């Protein structure tokens, strides 16, 4: 069994309030075997010793919602509202560009960006999901991959009648295939999926024992134009169909009223918030503090980088904590530590991955090393600085499941230059989304 000993670490073992100086972390195989003060470090014998003096070790970040392959569309359609962006630009671009090759290489490019900015686990949602699985697996990331479902033709499933069978085959192929990759079902939204499709998608997920995801209540437009004719809210629409519950993850949840919050909270339904995508598409601000008060599990996601336009979870944490202060007119609305929790342990449990998101013996060795030598992280009084001052560029090293994917900011697990070249070539024939 391979062993790695991190020495002279600054770390915070789960309780983000107290930074512990000069600790060791022993990794055995794919899990954290021991953590303690350097004075009690195990004698030499580990296969690999990494001295991280002046650096901080923390749990890897969990991006609970992204569309990895959309790196191809980054910057293609900016400064648009959600409806114009999606229906006028992105769906047409996807109809032209999505292919197995596109999904594989654009997802690998996303993996490079995520590793370089400290994400160790991503919940992806796209099409040709077997290729996303292969790409993320080849890069060494942990991932929950939701195969997309919509009621119209897409390049991966030209006949929407084949959707459920296609996703069922994807799940059957990937369950148990790669310990780092967990398949899931992603029904796009209540405005692109009929009630029957939503029900079949959710039942498929339940029967297969995988998560059911859906974009929900993202924009005012979804409320006004799509759901209002039914005389109900998106949340109540799902509740009426019997689709709320602890296996359901709603992405966005920007437009929730008090009754919606009650329904979501009482049913155990989970929510992923994507503040920067919601800001850029002018969708609104999710009521995250109210969600937490209702006992709702909240994860943090970037959404795709055609709407964000970044996959850097440090930027996302910063924005989450700050936008909630603006929305609530209260500097304590969402403290930095709550943002850190959403981006680590909170996101992990929401995805059903119980043994990641914390630095504790027995947990998987999914961790990142942040360089504290930078001027903007000096002095380092408190880990809140990770939210309000650090960025993905401060991540020095990344480990997933005991495997070092990046060291000294050099990606070790795959050839990033090849992924960049492939995506540049795909972009040269993608045409403009405008
Ligand atoms: C089935 S998921 C893939 C599908 O979702 C589209 N998408 C990306 N970002 C958003 C968003 O913020 N709201 C709604 N839909 C989104 C993506 O372009 C794919 O078609
Ligand atoms: Zn999305």
Confirm whether 416 is domain-assigned.
no
CA 110 to chain centre: 12
DSSP 3-state assignment of 244? coil
Q: Are residues 281 and 150 in the same domain?
A: yes
Q: Are residues 389 and 312 in the same domain?
A: no
Q: Which two tokens stand for residue 73?
A: 């569309």
Of 323, 350, 377, which one is at a domain's C-terminal end?
350
Determine the pLDDT at residue 14: 58
Q: Are residues 250 and 384 in the same domain?
A: no
Element (H, E) at 62: strand 61-66
Query: At residue 19, does pLDDT exceed 70?
Result: no
- Ligand closest in space to the Cα of 95: 1
- Burial label, 213 (beta-carbon count in 10 A; 0-12, 13-18, 19+): buried
Determine the pLDDT at residue 70: 98
Torsion-angle region of 75 (φ positive above 0: left; ψ -120 to 50: alpha; else: beta): left
Q: Are residues 34 and 150 in the same domain?
A: no
Q: Which two tokens stand for residue 247?
A: 């296996």
Give percent of the chain with pLDDT exceeding 90.
89
Confirm whether 11 is domain-assigned.
yes
- Of 21-25, 83-87, 257-261, 423-427, least confident by mean pLDDT is 21-25
Q: Are residues 318 and 338 in the same domain?
A: yes
Confirm whether 420 is domain-assigned.
no
Residue 246's domain is classified under what CATH number?
Answer: 3.20.20.140
Number of domains observed in the structure of the chain: 2
Q: Are residues 73 and 20 in the same domain?
A: no
Confirm whether 434 is domain-assigned.
no
379 upstream amide cis, omega within 30 of 0: yes
Residues 6+ positions from 15 with CB-CB distance below 8 Å: none
Q: Are residues 339 and 376 in the same domain?
A: no
Range of the domain at 279: 61-350
Q: Are residues 216 and 340 in the same domain?
A: yes
Q: Whose CA is nearest to atom 3 of ligand 1?
A: 126
For residue 188, how far is its CA from the centre of ligand 1 (angstroms)? 7
Determine the pLDDT at residue 224: 83
Confidence of residue 17 (pLDDT cuts 50, 70, 90): very low
Kindly state if the Cβ of 94 falls inside 6 Å of ligand 1: yes
Kindly state if the Cβ of 73 falls inside 6 Å of ligand 1: no
Rounded alpha-carbon distances, angstroms, from residue 357 to 48, 101, 354, 363, 372: 23, 32, 8, 8, 21
For residue 50, how far is its CA from the centre of ligand 1 (angstroms)? 40
Q: Which ipTM score applies to this complex?
A: 0.99
Confirm whether 386 is domain-assigned.
yes
**Phi and psi, residue 37, nearest 5°:** -70, 150
Q: Are residues 346 and 329 in the same domain?
A: yes
Query: At residue 29, does pLDDT exceed 50?
Result: yes
Confidence of residue 433 (pLDDT cuts 50, 70, 90): very low
Q: Are residues 141 and 247 in the same domain?
A: yes
Q: Which residues pair with 144 in a beta bridge?
A: 123, 182
Q: Whose CA is nearest to atom 20 of ligand 1?
A: 91
- Of 30-34, 230-234, 344-348, 372-376, least confident by mean pLDDT is 230-234
Determine the pLDDT at residue 229: 74
307-319: pLDDT as tens digits: 999 999 999 999 9
């Amino acid at each position: 069994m391979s062993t790695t000993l991190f020495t002279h670490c600054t770390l915070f073992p789960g309780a983000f309030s107290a930074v512990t100086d000069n600790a060791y972390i022993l990794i055995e195989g794919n899990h954290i075997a021991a953590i303690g003060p350097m004075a009690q470090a195990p004698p030499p014998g580990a296969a690999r010793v990494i001295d991280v003096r002046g650096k901080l070790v923390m749990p890897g970040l969990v991006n609970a919602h992204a569309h990895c392959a959309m790196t191809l569309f980054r910057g293609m359609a900016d400064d648009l509202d959600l409806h114009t962006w999606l229906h006028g630009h992105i769906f047409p671009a996807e109809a032209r560009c999505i292919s197995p090759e596109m999904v594989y290489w654009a997802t690998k490019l996303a993996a490079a960006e995520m590793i370089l900015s400290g994400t160790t686990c991503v919940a992806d949602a796209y099409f040709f999901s077997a290729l996303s699985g292969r790409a993320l697996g080849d890069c060494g990331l942990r991932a929950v991959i939701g195969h997309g479902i919509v009621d119209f033709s897409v390049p991966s499933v030209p006949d929407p009648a084949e959707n459920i069978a296609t996703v069922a085959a994807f799940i059957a192929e990937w369950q148990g295939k790669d310990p780092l990759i967990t398949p899931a079902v992603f029904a796009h939204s209540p405005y692109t999926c009929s009630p029957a499709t939503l029900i079949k998608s959710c039942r498929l997920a339940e029967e297969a024992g995988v998560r059911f995801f859906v974009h929900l209540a993202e924009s005012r437009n979804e409320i006004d134009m799509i759901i209002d004719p039914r005389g109900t809210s998106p949340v109540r629409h799902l509740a009426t169909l019997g689709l709320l519950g602890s296996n359901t993850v709603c992405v966005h949840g920007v437009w929730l009223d008090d009754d919606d919050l009650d329904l979501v909270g009482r049913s155990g339904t989970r929510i992923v918030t994507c503040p920067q995508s919601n800001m850029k598409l002018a969708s609104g601000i999710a009521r995250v503090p109210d969600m937490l008060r209702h006992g709702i599990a909240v994860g943090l996601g970037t959404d795709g980088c055609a709407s964000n336009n970044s996959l850097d979870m440090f930027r996302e944490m910063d924005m989450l904590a700050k936008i909630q202060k603006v929305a609530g007119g209260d500097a304590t609305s969402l403290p930095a530590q709550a943002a850190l929790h959403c981006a680590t342990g909170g996101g992990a449990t929401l995805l059903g991955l119980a043994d990641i998101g914390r630095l504790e013996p027995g947990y998987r060795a999914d961790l990142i090393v942040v360089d504290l030598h930078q001027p903007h992280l000096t002095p380092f009084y408190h880990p809140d600085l990770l939210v309000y001052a650090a960025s993905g560029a401060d991540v020095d090293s990344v480990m997933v499941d005991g495997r070092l994917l990046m060291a000294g900011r050099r990606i070790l697990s795959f050839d990033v230059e090849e992924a960049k070249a492939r995506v540049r070539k795909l972009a040269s024939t993608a045409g403009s989304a405008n």
